[in-house]
């Protein structure tokens, strides 16, 4: 945890040796050295002690200002008489799901950064780095273990730190192989290289084991096939219980696979999964454009066979969400330079001829032409405010 007066505080268990006040210690993961200022144990309230011996559990204060030097599970050793190797079991956890978190008010950016630093202190699986978006401004690209982990972090930021946030749709890490032999790890669709430079794209695959009653085998197989699954095996554990094994892309499992599985089996199915590696697929980047301007926060990486359907469904969904303006708003889905779908949010129309009672028709035409020119000028300089729910529209597409 973080103490505003003493810096990052570490809970430790002494395996071998003795640690005392004034000792120089070294973090083996980051190679950073510090001097111990304070030692203590919880009994159950904090009690200061002079030293900690083998088997004892306590806390250390060493004026650690940078919380990035303290990693959960790291080994601490004496700086002068350092251990040759760290204790087994520590390794950096790799996030599997990524999303962008942006403050609605740019003045809250420093507060958001401090809040993420403090959450990262006691959650080693959570990771973040600065990010910018043309549509949303400055924010952070955050990595999580899964959707539940992402929801918990978002709720804590809003409740504990009183931040008003915009989160983009989650995505996974893709391996983009370029023609010059370079491999780019891409977790943000907007940072994907140009289509002309890409040789092929690989996506993470999970081996999913589904335990289900024999009655629901058909619906489960149909669901897995719709999610681009490859059947690995079907085993009957008992005459009434079946274990179905499929290899599925993580991007297909990520959004609502478990909800659909529970609905198809009336809640009787259970699921277990493990990462098995990356596989090559026909993947493309789907961009969304508002009045010809690309909205990078709405970009996504999808399979080529599903791109047209997803683009059309997403454009229709955004048409209902984007508020009407004084001018027409064109919503387009595009792959590269090719537009595959378009929807139009009609302009709000003011009856400028209401004040004309009779008279020559040319007067009305003049007023309508003037209105048309005004709308055209407004469209060239106006900007569309995108509501929060627009960034999660892709999650609600069936």
H or E element at residue 267 = none
Q: Taking 70 as the threshold, does the pLDDT of residue 388 lie above it?
A: no
- Between strands 19-20 and 24-27, the pairing is unpaired
Concatenating the DSSP letter of every residue in 9-69 gives EEEEE--SS-EETT-EEEETTT--EEE--EEEEESSSEEE-SEE-TT-EEEEE--B--GGG
Start-end of CATH 3.30.70.870 domains in the chain:
97-168
CATH of domain 97-168: 3.30.70.870
Give the pLDDT of residue 220.
Answer: 92
Sequence-distant (≥ 6) Cβ neighbours of residue 5 within 8 angstroms: none
* Class level of CATH domain 286-395: alpha beta
Average pLDDT, the chain: 81
As its CATH architecture, domain 2-78 has: Beta Barrel (2.40)
The two tokens of residue 135 are: 């549509």
Give the pLDDT of residue 394.
Answer: 63
**Which CATH topology does 200-281 take?**
Alpha-Beta Plaits (3.30.70)
| % of the chain beyond a pLDDT of 70 | 86
Nearest C-alpha neighbor of 141 from the set 110, 175, 171, 114? 171
Q: How many CA atoms lie within 13 A of 35 on its CB side?
A: 2
Give the pLDDT of residue 67.
Answer: 63
Q: How confident is the model at residue 61 (pLDDT cuts 50, 70, 90)?
A: confident
Give the pLDDT of residue 73.
Answer: 73
Q: How confident is the model at residue 352 (pLDDT cuts 50, 70, 90)?
A: low
Mean pLDDT of 178-198: 84
Mean pLDDT of 118-147: 81
Concatenating the DSSP letter of every residue in 84-99 gives SSPPTT--PPPP-EEE
Give the pLDDT of residue 242.
Answer: 92
Give the pLDDT of residue 395.
Answer: 60
Q: What residues form DSSP beta bridges with 132? A: 138
Three-state DSSP class for 130? strand
Nearest C-alpha neighbor of 251 from the set 311, 199, 303, 176? 303
The two tokens of residue 249 are: 């892309």
CA–CA dist 123, 148 (Å, integer): 14
pTM: 0.65
Is residue 201 within 8 Å of residue 301, measured between CB atoms?
Answer: yes
Q: What is the pLDDT of residues 277-307, one digit of tens each?
A: 899 988 888 888 888 888 887 888 888 888 8
The two tokens of residue 364 are: 């009305």
Comparing 76-85, 254-263, 317-326, 387-396, which segment has the lowest mean pLDDT?
Answer: 387-396
The two tokens of residue 71 are: 């990693």
Start-end of CATH 3.30.70.240 domains in the chain:
200-281
CA–CA dist 111, 265 (Å, integer): 45
How far lies 385's CA from each of 350, 382, 389, in Å?
A: 21, 10, 12
* Number of CB atoms found within 10 A of residue 264's CB: 18
Sequence-distant (≥ 6) Cβ neighbours of residue 161 within 8 angstroms: 111, 112, 115
Nearest C-alpha neighbor of 154 from the set 391, 396, 366? 391
Start-end of CATH 2.40.30.10 domains in the chain:
2-78
Start-end of CATH 3.30.70.2570 domains in the chain:
286-395
Give the pLDDT of residue 150.
Answer: 86
Q: How confident is the model at residue 19 (pLDDT cuts 50, 70, 90)?
A: confident
Mean pLDDT of 119-133: 80
DSSP symbol at 302: E
Give the pLDDT of residue 382.
Answer: 47
- Cα torsion through 361, 365, 366, 370, rounded to 10: 160
**Highest averaged pLDDT of the listed ranges 91-105, 231-245, 361-375:** 231-245
- Cα torsion through 351, 356, 362, 367, rounded to 10: -40
């Amino acid at each position: 945890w973080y103490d505003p007066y003493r810096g990052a505080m570490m809970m430790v268990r002494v395996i071998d040796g003795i640690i005392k006040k004034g000792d120089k210690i070294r973090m083996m993961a980051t190679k950073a050295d510090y001097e111990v200022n304070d030692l203590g144990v919880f009994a159950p309230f904090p009690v200061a002690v002079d030293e900690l011996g083998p088997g004892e559990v306590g806390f250390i204060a060493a004026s650690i200002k940078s919380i990035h030097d303290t990693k959960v599970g790291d080994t601490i050793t004496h700086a002068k008489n350092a251990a040759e190797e760290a204790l087994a079991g520590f390794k950096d956890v790799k996030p599997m799901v990524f999303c962008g978190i942006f403050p609605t008010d740019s003045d809250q950016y420093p507060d958001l950064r401090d809040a993420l630093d403090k959450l990262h202190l006691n959650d080693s699986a959570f990771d973040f780095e600065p990010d910018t978006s043309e549509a949303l401004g400055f924010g952070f690209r955050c990595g999580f273990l899964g959707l539940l982990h992402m929801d918990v972090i978002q709720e804590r930021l809003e409740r504990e730190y009183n931040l008003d946030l915009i989160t983009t749709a989650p995505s996974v890490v893709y391996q983009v192989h370029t023609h010059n032999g370079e491999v780019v790890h891409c977790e943000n669709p907007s940072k994907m290289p140009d289509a002309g430079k890409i040789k092929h794209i690989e996506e993470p695959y999970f081996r999913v084991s589904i335990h289900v009653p024999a009655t629901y085998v058909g619906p489960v197989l149909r669901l897995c096939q719709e999610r681009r699954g490859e059947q690995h095996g079907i085993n009957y554990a008992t005459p009434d219980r079946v274990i179905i094994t499929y290899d599925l892309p993580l991007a297909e499992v990520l959004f609502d696979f478990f909800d659909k599985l529970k609905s198809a089996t009336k809640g009787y199915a259970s699921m277990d999964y493990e990462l098995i590696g990356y596989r090559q697929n026909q993947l493309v980047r789907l961009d969304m454009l508002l009045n010809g301007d690309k909205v990078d926060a709405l970009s996504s990486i999808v399979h080529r066979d599903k791109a047209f359907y997803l683009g059309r469904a997403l454009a229709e969904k955004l048409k209902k969400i984007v508020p009407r303006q004084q001018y027409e708003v064109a919503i387009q889905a595009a792959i590269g330079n090719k537009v595959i779908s378009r929807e139009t949010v009609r302009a709000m129309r003011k009856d400028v001829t209401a004040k004309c009672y009779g008279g020559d028709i040319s007067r009305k035409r003049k007023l309508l032409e003037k209105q048309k020119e005004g709308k055209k000028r407004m469209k060239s300089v106006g900007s569309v405010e995108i509501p929060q729910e627009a960034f999660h529209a892709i999650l609600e597409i069936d």
